[in-house]
Each structure stands twice: as structure tokens, then as C-alpha cells.
A and B are shown apart, each in its own frame.
Chain A
Amino acid sequence: SQQGEEDPQALSIQEGENATMNCSYKTSINNLQWYRQNSGRGLVHLILIRSNEREKHSGRLRVTLDTSKKSSSLLITASRAADTASYFCATGSYTGNQFYFGTGTSLTVIP
């Protein structure tokens, strides 16, 4: 399967702490995207990082990509209760617009 895997499956932290989740994948990629999903709703696009990039920032989000290890991490700094959601990574191939999603990390931020 080309599906990625997120680690941990679930994470619970206090408001104000940082949250780190990891994504591993199996094949070479063109890009990797992170999404957030609130309880059975649609996915919200957070950030895209291309295969020739190593790090990207967007607000409180920091994403790293290590193509040699086929892994990526998403760091959310100074977490808020509103960050409670499931987070997914999706890998984009070179062969077109087809994405493979990881299994997701369920993040709970306790106020």
C-alpha cells in the first residue's frame, strides 16, 4: 500500500504546549500536504511542502520533510483548544494529481 502512516495515533496535551506529529511514507513523492479534519467534516488544507524543500512555516505551524528518511513532521506551537482535530498527511506523486493519505493523528488539546 502507498498509504502513509502518522505517529502517534492519538495525542493529548495541555493548552499552550507544543504538539508534534510524524508521517512516514513509502514511495518517492512530488510533495506532501498536511490537513486538519474536525469530527467527521471536510478536510482543511494546512500546508504543502515540496520534495525539494526541507522546512516550511505557516503561522503556528512548522513542517519538515526528510526525503531520505521518507518522513515528515508537523509541529503546532502554543496549542489551543480549537486545534483539537485529526491531522492527516497526504503524499502527492509525480505521475499526476493522486494523493495517498496517512492514517491520521487524533489531537486533543485540553483547556
Chain B
Amino acid sequence: KAGVTQTPRYLIKTRGQQVTLSCSPISGHRSVSWYQQTPGQGLQFLFEYFSETQRNKGNFPGRFSGRQFSNSRSEMNVSTLELGDSALYLCASSQYSGSSYEQYFGPGTRLTVT
């Protein structure tokens, strides 16, 4: 099976702009989660989508939003970018296996806000 893919891999944006990141999960996985990774805060959970519905949400401002399509592909949007949004954004797709979820991560999108 193909792994989790994320596009674009690298992105440079200016403060105040908005950005959309895309994630294609492993075939058959219906859950997609998004994480932000920064040197200072580490890996932080943004939100999770399952069957086109946001099922879990982390502690991020409303500027961060997402959606999931019927084919399980997901997009994440950040509006009014701030310098502190510079980070590696990781997408993970999950399958439920024996009472637990196993997450598989994509390579990430490196966002730089100038």
C-alpha cells in the first residue's frame, strides 16, 4: 500500500496570508489527524477527522481549520498566518486494530512564515 502523502512538502508564506495543506491517507484508512511540530512546543495535536466529521480537536485557535472529503483526503487551512505558525505540519492516517488506533505519518509539510 502507498503511504500517507502530504503536499506541498515545503511552503513559504507571508504574515497575514492563508495557507492550505493537503493529506492523502493510506488506502482504507478513514481517520486523519493533524499535528504541529515546533522546536519549542514539540508535537501538538490539532484535530482529527473521521468520515468527513471533525471528531477530536486540540487546543488551537480558530484560525486553524480542516476538512475531510468523501475519499478520506483531508485539508488543513491556516488563516491570517503569524510568525509562530512556522512549523512542520504532520498528517497521520489511522486504522482501528484490536481496540486501538495505529497511526501512520506522512513526511510533513514544512511551513515558513516570514
Contact = CB atoms under 8 A, between A and B. Distances in A.
B102 A103 contact: no
Contact of A44 (B31, B88, B100, B105): B105
Nearest to B42: A103
Interface residues on chain A, size class:
20 to 34
Interface string B33-76: 10100000011110010100001101000000000000000000
A96 B105 contact: no
Interface residues on chain B, size class:
20 to 34
Tell me if B's interface is mostly helix, strand, loop or mixed. Answer: strand
B42 A96 contact: no
A45 B55 contact: no
A42 B99 contact: no
Interface of B: 4, 31, 33, 35, 42-45, 48, 50, 55-56, 58, 88, 90, 92, 94, 98-108, 110
Contacts of A33: 102-103
Given A48-B100, A88-B43, A103-B42, A97 B108 contact: no
A90 B48 contact: no
